[in-house]
Amino acid sequence: MSTVQEIKCIFIKKVNLIVQRLLQKVTMNLINGIRLYIEKMCSESGPGMKNMLLDRETTSIISMAFSQSDMLQREVYLFERLDSGRSNERMKYLKCIVFIRPTKQNIQLLANELRSPKYGSYYIYFSNIIPRTDIKFLAECDESESVREVKEFYADYLSVNPNLFSLNIPKSMQRLNWLPEALTRSVQGIIGVLLTLRLNPVIRYRAGSSVAQNLAKQIFEQITKDSTLFEFRQQENGAAPPLLLLLDRRDDPVTPLLHQWTYQAMVHELLTIRNNRLDLSNIQGVPNDFKELVLSGEQDEFYSKNMYANFGEIGSTIKSLMEEFQRKAKDHKKVESIADMKNFIESYPQFKKMSGTVQKHLCIMGELSNLTSKRNLFEVSELEQEIACKAEHSAQLQRIKKIIADERIAINDAVKLVVLYALRYERHANCDTSGLLQIIKMRSDQAHIIPSLIEYAGTHVRQGEVFSLVRITDAVKLTRNLIKGLKGVENVFTQHTPLLKETLEDIFKGRELDPLYPAINSELVPFRRPPQEVVVFIIGGTTYEEALAVHQLNNNGYRVILGGTTIHNSQSFIDEALAATEGLQFKHTKSMMKYYATSENF
Amino acid sequence: MSNPFGEPDCEIVNGEILEGFLCPICHEDLKSLEFLTEHFEKTHAEEQDVLKSIFKDIFSKAKKKIKLNLDEKFDFSRNSDKSIALTSRIEETTVSTTNVRTRLNIYNFMDQQKEGVERSHIDYFQTVRNPRLERYASETNKLVIRLHKLVKDMPTDALLRKKHDQNIVPWLDGRSVKLCPNCAKSFHIARRQHHCRLCGSIMCQECSKFLSLASAMELASLTTAYSDSSKQPIISSGSTTSDLQRNGIRSCSHCFWLLDTRQEMHESHTCRPLITQIYLEIQQLRKNVTPDIDMYLKIIGSLYEGESILTLSDASALRGKIGQIAEAIDVHSKRILSLPCEQGSREESLKKSIRLSCIQLIKEKMLSLPPLPQEDEIRKIQDRKRIETEQRIASERKMAMEAYERYGLAVSTNTQKNTEYVQGCDLRSLDNWSARPVSTAGRTQNNDPLVEQINIIKGYIKQARQDMNFDVVETLETNLRELQKEFYERQKPLRQSNETENNKSRMDDH
């Protein structure tokens, strides 16, 4: 019987182990985090008809997590913006949930509202830490005793995917330094994420990047100041504390420049997603219902299944869905091209009922494939990937010259190619950027983009090995590259992997981080062990390609949250780089002087 | 492996291969599935409660989540499959609701993300706000008392009225006041001094506010409030009508503001227009219908599984009830929509969204209910289930016999118990049983308390059915079946000896 008991013991121990592990592994899902907050707001105000008073940013924060009908179910029937278009209608029989960011302007507006209240009772929620003086000010204004609740709920970021957030700051830098309001917003956004997920992290920043260091300092100060908020249960088993990693976009300027082929990234690159919404109103031939589309994985099953799938896969998924329907409709007309599919859809109104979403995605896919063929994107993208991943200077230079001179290639794509080349071979002996610049100059007035981008993210700022240039000293990297080379390339259009992926893999392997990513609060790192949870924030914007990399890591059991000041596509990235270098004196591109945008740059 | 319920763990440790219906905890061979479950229930009830509840979810979750530890996962998923099979068996026979509940809790706890941090400022807010409010409140109360006196027997004649007013509130001496304290303009023949009737202070005509008599009456609670107080602001600022200036009560802006705020607070506490009332009714209906919908889905599910505790007619009655509620909600929300309001106002959009949410509710929750199954279809399902149970029992019996033969341990008590148990199981699943005990009850009408109890329960069931209280029906029906089974088993010994006392004591256990 003793052996039996032994088995029993082992068994129970194993079960306990698993329970423990699962309990530690609380899911990190930002959309859920926001939802929980908002649900709590709705339930705390009790039953009854409700109005929601929001500001510009909180409106988008809520709309990323809930649809309007979701809110109707929670008895929220009206929405109002605190900062614009207010009516004077008194509705004392309504409860009012106020969810705003704690800005000076908002506080003032709310004070006015409380002095002459239009609603019966007020439940006030601020999306971030609010100074006590502001609370006092508001309390003095509430003369009719209509405020029932004042709370901080830290839903202060836009949750794009469960593991991706953005702060919608399209331009974060000026003369390569923080714009003050962008810095404050970033601190608040990151604090919001940390508090939503209940993390008190080690803060590491990219060494040598003054913006990252600055942000790290400010976050650290905020955490120290409000340390009571960050008192979470310590992990008893000695697991490493979570990590907040502050990176600089300029370390990897390549990823946002490349053309993308996975669905979400591609849609953003070609059509631009704003707050999970897609605006197709200026594209011809789009039916009226599809002028504005919502692309949310929470509300759209097809999208959530396919947002990381690549272009070809989705095409075949849609095709098979339609063939299935065709079988049902007992019609064996062959569906071959996307145009065929469109015709097919229009002739079968039942199909509309069966899967309205598929029609929506078909519409998007149609537009994507249109643009792909119109802009010769297969050819361009292949070359982009070659430049990013392989070192064959002369051959690539020849191809670039040929392609950018071709009038069929859009000038934007040509500029991007030259930028990639210039970033890649900036220090190459035979670098011929000026020759390429001449060709661009002949075609358009966009040549100034190239020196600006090199000032923004040239070799002098970069630290990581964005182009996988092999250094003899780095034996690990060398072998890794060798293996990569031996394995061959599965898909020429998606051979590039973002630098972030390598960085994160290094982190989870427990590599030494201090030289490249020093910690600001090093007392939290008593010993070196890979962290369980990582929150990455990229100053200057993240990309959907990086979101894909993070998603893949999370699928392998790691727990990473990615965020950035914004989510870039190539155009918005170039715009941000131009804005950041505007008025700056250029030091590293004297050879391209004649292409500068303004005389200030001299 | 021939037997799906053998334990691989013991093979490894003991070195010899055990087969058969082994208990996973004490490794006793229990010959048949029924015995194993019974044994499990009795001997390991407590320890297993915890274990099995954890097992089922953890393993299925663990399989998904912990892909990292491949080897472990492999090892455990094998175990988990078995424990799932085991636990599901056990749950079939034992009706332990607590068990289900604990399992659910664990499940929820693990699946749900913890809410983010929050911080409340309401305490500080109140410590700042409340003293101010208290000060205002006492001030306002004083004003209301004065107002009451002013309005109470107010003379109509202007001169008399002035005297009456001065009597109640002594007016400030105007000689020393050269400037209007509110707008700082000097007083002269054209700009004369006026007195606030409530506090006696001085201001000019332009800075005077007027309280209409009607609202003054109301504030002093001499008359009851207007029926639709929300439509019409009770205190309107003075300068609009000359009539108001003549008849209204002149007051300074501070007193006016205090009374206005009081009025507003009163309004927001008591404001209940028609729309709120109808809305409350809708919410009540909505609240009432949710358990009905759940119950309906449960009945339909059980019907398709061939159970007969709740019948088809129950389901159709419930469906009818849900339909009626849906209609009521529809009517109510239309009524809200038809309430008069301004075009393009926020009130209009409020009504529209309420209506929209009602339509959504009806569409998604009530109209999309699965249809009732056909009667013959149910009969088929029930027949099939009966045959299946019979086959299962037969095969189990056979397997048990084989096991005896193999081990040569024909313990007589076991056999007896076995057959009895099988019979019991058989009885329970056969549903033509509800008829027979009635006839036997008719025969042995010698005040058998068991029969009495059965009849009482039958009466309750009938009542509960009429009230559509299907939760009660379900528990009563299971009770009834157990009683009937008990009664049947009692029949044989009863005929031999009339041990009514013994019977009664067991009855009480029920």
Kindly report, residue by residue over A169-199, the tens digit of the pLDDT: 999 999 889 999 999 999 999 999 999 998 8
Phi, psi of B186 (to 5 degrees): -75, 150
Provide DSSP, A429-446.
TT--HHHHHHHHHHH-S-
Q: Do B347 and A89 touch (CB under 8 A)?
A: yes
* Mutation to test the B interface, candidates A5, A30, A49, A113, most B Cβ within 10 Å: A49
Q: A471 or A420: whose pLDDT is higher?
A: A420
Q: pLDDT for A239-265, tens place per residue?
A: 778 899 999 999 889 999 999 999 999
Query: Does residue B65 sit at the A interface (CB-CB below 8 Å)?
Result: yes
Q: In whole angstroms, what separates CA A397 from the centre of its chain? A: 33
pLDDT in tens, A425-434: 888 888 888 8
Q: Give the residue from chain A lying closest to B365, CA to CA.
A: A73
Mean pLDDT (whole number) for B313-325: 85
Q: What pLDDT shows up at residue A509?
A: 85
Burial degree of B433 (CB within 10 A; 0-12, 13-18, 19+):
middle
- Judge: B133–A145 Cβ closer than 8 Å, yes or no: yes
B124 and A77 within 8 Å at the Cβ level: the answer is no
Q: Please tell me the predicted confidence (pLDDT) of residue A471.
A: 39
Q: By mean pLDDT, which of A82-96, A522-536, B239-253, B366-380 is the weakest?
A: B239-253
Name residue, tokens 């091209």: A337
In this prediction, residue A357 carries a pLDDT of: 72
Q: Is the pLDDT of residue B111 over 60?
A: no
Task: Determine the Cα–Cα distance for residues A385 and A411; give it in Å rounded to an integer.
Answer: 18
Q: For chain B, what is the mean pLDDT?
A: 69
Mean pLDDT of A515-543: 82
- With b meaning 16 or more CB within 10 Å and e meaning fewer, what string describes A499-531? bbbbbbebbbeeeebeebbbbbbeeebeeeebb
Phi, psi of B185 (to 5 degrees): -95, 150
Confidence of residue B305 (pLDDT cuts 50, 70, 90): confident
Chain A closest CA to B118's CA: distance in Å?
5
Q: How many CB atoms lie within 10 A of CB B288?
A: 12
CA distance A592 to A90: 63
Average pLDDT, stretch A294-301? 81
The predicted model gives A146-155 an average pLDDT of: 93
Q: What percent of chain B shows pLDDT beyond 90?
A: 3
Q: pLDDT by residue (tens digit) across A374-411?
A: 888 888 998 898 888 877 888 889 999 988 888 888 89
What local confidence, expressed as pLDDT, does residue A459 receive?
Answer: 82
Residue A512 or residue B430, greater confidence: A512
At residue B191 the predicted structure's pLDDT band, cuts being 50, 70 and 90, is: confident
Residue B454: partners with Cβ closer than 8 Å, 6 or more residues away: B437, B441, B480, B483, B484, B487
Instruction: Measure Cα distances from B62 to A18, B65, B72, B114, B133 in Å.
Output: 7, 5, 10, 19, 57
pLDDT tens digit sequence for A4-55: 677 666 666 666 655 555 544 557 889 999 999 999 999 999 888 999 999 9
Band of pLDDT at residue A151, cut at 50, 70 and 90: very high
Query: B203: pLDDT confidence band, cut at 50, 70 and 90?
Result: confident
C-beta atoms of A140 and B61 within 8 A: no
- Split at pLDDT 50, 70, 90, the class of A98 is very high
**DSSP code, position B29:** B
Q: Please tell me the predicted confidence (pLDDT) of residue B172.
A: 81
A77 and B129: CB-CB below 8 Å? no
Helices (H), B230-374: 242-247, 253-270, 274-304, 312-338, 346-361
Nearest CA in chain B to A38: B115
pLDDT reported for residue A405 = 87
Measured between CA atoms, the residue of chain A closest to residue B266 is A144
Model confidence band, residue B430 (pLDDT cutoffs 50, 70, 90): very low
Looking at the partner chain, which of A3, A132, A152 has a beta carbon nearest the beta carbon of B13?
A3
Across chain B, which distance is largest between two alpha carbons, in Å? 128
Do the Cβ atoms of B13 and A26 come within 8 Å?
A: no
Residue type, A51: N
Cross-chain Cβ contact B345/A117 below 8 Å: no
B275 touches chain A (CB under 8 A): yes
Contact A52, A125 (CB under 8 A): no
Which pLDDT score is estimated for A185?
95
Nearest to A136 among B111, B128, B133 (CB): B128
* pTM of this structure: 0.74
What is the predicted pLDDT for the residue at B185? 83
pLDDT of residue A56: 92
Residues 78-117, chain B: which have Cβ within 8 Å of A? 79, 109-111, 113-117
Using an 8 Å Cβ cutoff, are A531 and A240 in contact? yes
The pLDDT value recorded for residue B21 is 60
Cross-chain residue pair B129–A142, CB shorter than 8 Å: yes
Percent of chain A exceeding pLDDT 90 equals: 37
End-to-end CA distance of chain A: 88
How many residue contacts between A and B have a Cβ separation below 8 Å?
179
Model confidence pLDDT, tens digit, residues A212-232: 999 999 999 999 999 888 887
